[in-house]
Amino acid sequence: MTGRRARHVRLRGVVAALGVAATLVNVPAPAYAGPAARDDDHGARADHGTRAGHGTRAGHARQVYVVTLAPGAGAASRAGRELAARYGASVDRTYGAALNGLAVRARADQALRLAADPAVASVVPDTGVRTRAGQQRPPSWGLDRIDQRRLPLDKSYTAPRRAGRGVTVYVIDTGVRTSHKDFGGRARSGRDFVQNDGTAQDGNGHGTQVAATVAGSAHGVAKRARIVAVRVLDDRGTGTLAQVLAGIDWVTRHARKPAVANLSLGGPPNAQLDAAVRASIASGVTYTVAAGNENGPASRSSPARVRQALTVGATDRRDARAAFSNRGRALDLFAPGVSIRSASHRSDTASAVSSGTSMAAPHVAGAAALYLSGHPSARPAEVAKAVVRRAVQGRVTAAGSGSPNKLLQVNGA
């Protein structure tokens, strides 16, 4: 991980981890089936990003497609699996909690025929993602900022005594160095959808920094919350839409509530990703999402444009919107995201400094955990409302047209 460089994880082709601020890359091709409903009415052009190098010679190379089935067709059923086989496709993954669909391998001509089946709502090419963070003298100025309403910083951080106890935060990212001393035994692996096993170790660093910003004993907002690592991005900080969907689906199915999930990743508008996040929120998991690092409208990015999620922009230590931070009406609030120190994956005691909306979002995830610790039965909409209501108004300079001028605060959580 680079230190002070603004980071944003991009899905290769569709989703990106907002590494300090992840960004989704373009979908390699349009959906073959009819367009799915947007989460908003912005028909904006997607920001450009790196794209996975899938072999795509028309009709010959097999690649991965994400298939969403129509209502009434069960993806996990025998009929769902047989549907793919009927057109010569093989099933890589099955989703059933956050998305009724499949990830399949097929040639382009097979995908076209599959998309025409009445049991199918849409077929889109898989796309790539990559990474886009009373305690005295806290190591991060961000902690110092979020418990006081005005500058200057007072060199202390005071959180409620509950400090997130009883809340589980799912970090959907590059994995987490769960043995790091900052977690004090409160972090564990959930699932690794890169290696397809149960050990979600971090070979990149992004996920560890995000997790410690949420709940590290030294670096974290909610110092008693539990962390579960869900790895969807590899050691380079890249992944695919299919992997990210699998991570969200797993969290939706296995979340121990009260629960928060953090997505410091994103990309251009993508209906499948948006739908999965909405479904997971509907199941009772509160989501915090990085707004992106393109200095553009967050409404042009998924899942940042999902209204039910808490979408977070970044500020610097002077309360100015970070030069890289996305902006606009899709944001819910801002949080510190420039030069944030947090735990590093390099050893059990190491730390690193990063910038980006990927570091802003976990501050809000920690704040959500603080609220849920005292209100364990609160639904995601209630959590989001409480977090936004407690934000301080009018402090962010150059917030951007349409942006809410609200800066995260944790007092009284």
Catalogue all structural domains in the chain, each as residue range(s) with its CATH number.
54-126 (3.30.70.80), 130-407 (3.40.50.200)
pLDDT of residue 24: 29
pLDDT of residue 45: 27
pLDDT of residue 141: 84
pLDDT of residue 31: 38
Please state the separation of Cα 262 from the chain's center in Å. Answer: 5
* Helices and strands (H and E) in the chain: how many: 8, 21
Strands 156-157, 90-95: pairing is unpaired
pTM of the model: 0.81
- In sequence order, what are the residues at sequence separation of 6 or more whose Cβ sits closer than 8 angstroms to the Cβ of residue 70? 118, 119, 120, 121
pLDDT of residue 189: 98
- In sequence order, what are the residues at sequence separation of 6 or more whose Cβ sits closer than 8 angstroms to the Cβ of residue 186? 215, 224, 225, 226, 227
For the chain, residues with pLDDT lower than 70 are 1-60, 76-77, 129-138, 412-413
pLDDT of residue 71: 83
Query: Residue 6's closest CA among 366, 316, 309?
Result: 316
Active site residue 299: no
Within 10 Å of residue 96's Cβ, how many Cβ atoms?
Answer: 16
Catalytic residue among 8, 180, 206, 219: 206
pLDDT of residue 404: 97
pLDDT (tens digit, 9 = 90+) per residue, 365-399? 999 999 999 999 999 999 999 999 999 999 999 99
Active site residue 325: no
Q: Assess whether the previous peptide bond of 258 is cis (omega < 30° from 0).
A: yes
pLDDT of residue 377: 97
State the Cα–Cα distance between residues 175 and 210, nearest whole angstrom.
10
Catalytic residue among 47, 173, 202, 234: 173
pLDDT of residue 413: 53
pLDDT of residue 412: 53
pLDDT of residue 52: 31
State the Cα–Cα distance between residues 111 and 80, nearest whole angstrom.
15
Active site residue 358: yes
- On whether the CB atoms of residues 310 and 390 are closer than 8 A, the answer is no
State the Cα–Cα distance between residues 144 and 12, nearest whole angstrom.
35
Catalytic residue among 358, 363, 373, 403: 358
pLDDT of residue 132: 57
Instruction: Tell me the C-alpha to C-alpha distance, in Å, between residue 209 and each of 82, 141, 253.
Output: 42, 15, 25
